[in-house]
């Protein structure tokens, strides 16, 4: 939203503007990292995303090659997964978005035989290593502007942590909070990174159309829409 004023000056417009939401695969893991940034300083992240076929605009009828298969390449997705979070965590300087310098992120992205729901395996290291309890508490207590303003499409509880060792699962958990929540599970220590965990979100609801509606609701509350 803060860049809209500069955009209007550049385009010479007074009422119209272009507002975009983040990539659908980022919705699965970036919200889980965000509440940990301030107090613990996320320094390095390795993420592997397992992305549903609806992210390619496909159904099983129209993507027969995915049946009994995993495709280890989604064009441009890995580059976006590594760079776009730094834009989200950046700041506005004049008429430019300046990307954050940390954390370092490396990613691999796979297309998997799932109808809806992007899953991410996340490995993270910190400047100040938290305890597992601190991480779970940060997830459970996190409330963003959408929750504070009680926007109509906002999930009441944005981040849900599951204690069960086999959760989250797309089939069971993608519709949590009307498909607008992010599910987290399997938090444990790692031998190369500080911790590893699993995340999942609905890619066409939270990640696409629903996220767009939520952004529009926020823009309306902030006075950008008549």
* Active site members: 24, 118
Q: Is the dihedral of CA 122, 56, 19, 146 positive or negative?
A: negative
- For helices 132-141 and 26-40, angle between their N-to-C axes, nearest 10 degrees: 110
Mark residue 179 as left, alpha or beta (left: phi above 0; alpha: psi -120 to 50; beta: remaining): left
58-91 CB burial, b ≥16 within 10 A, e <16? beeeebeebeeeebeebeebbebbeebbbeebee
Cα separation of 212 and 216, whole Å? 6
């Amino acid at each position: 939203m803060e860049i809209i004023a500069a955009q209007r000056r550049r385009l010479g417009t007074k009422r119209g503007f272009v507002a975009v939401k983040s990539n659908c695969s980022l919705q699965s893991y970036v919200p889980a990292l965000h509440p940990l940034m301030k107090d613990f300083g996320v320094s390095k992240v390795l993420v592997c995303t397992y992305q549903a076929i609806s992210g390619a605009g496909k159904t099983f009828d129209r993507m027969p090659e995915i049946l009994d298969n995993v495709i280890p390449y989604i064009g441009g997705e890995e580059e976006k997964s590594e760079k776009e979070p730094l834009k989200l965590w950046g700041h506005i300087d004049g008429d430019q978005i300046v990307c954050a310098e940390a954390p370092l992120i490396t990613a691999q992205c796979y297309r998997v035989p799932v109808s809806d729901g992007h899953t991410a395996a996340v490995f993270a290291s910190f400047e100040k290593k938290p305890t597992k309890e601190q991480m779970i508490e940060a997830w459970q207590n996190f409330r963003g502007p959408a929750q504070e303003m009680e926007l109509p499409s906002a999930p009441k509880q944005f981040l849900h942590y599951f204690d069960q060792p086999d959760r989250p699962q797309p089939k069971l958990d993608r519709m949590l909070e009307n498909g607008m929540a992010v599910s987290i599970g399997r938090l444990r220590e790692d031998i190369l990174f500080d911790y590893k965990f699993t995340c999942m979100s609905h890619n066409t609801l939270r990640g696409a159309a629903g996220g767009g509606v939520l952004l529009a609701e926020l823009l309306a509350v902030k006075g950008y829409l008549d």
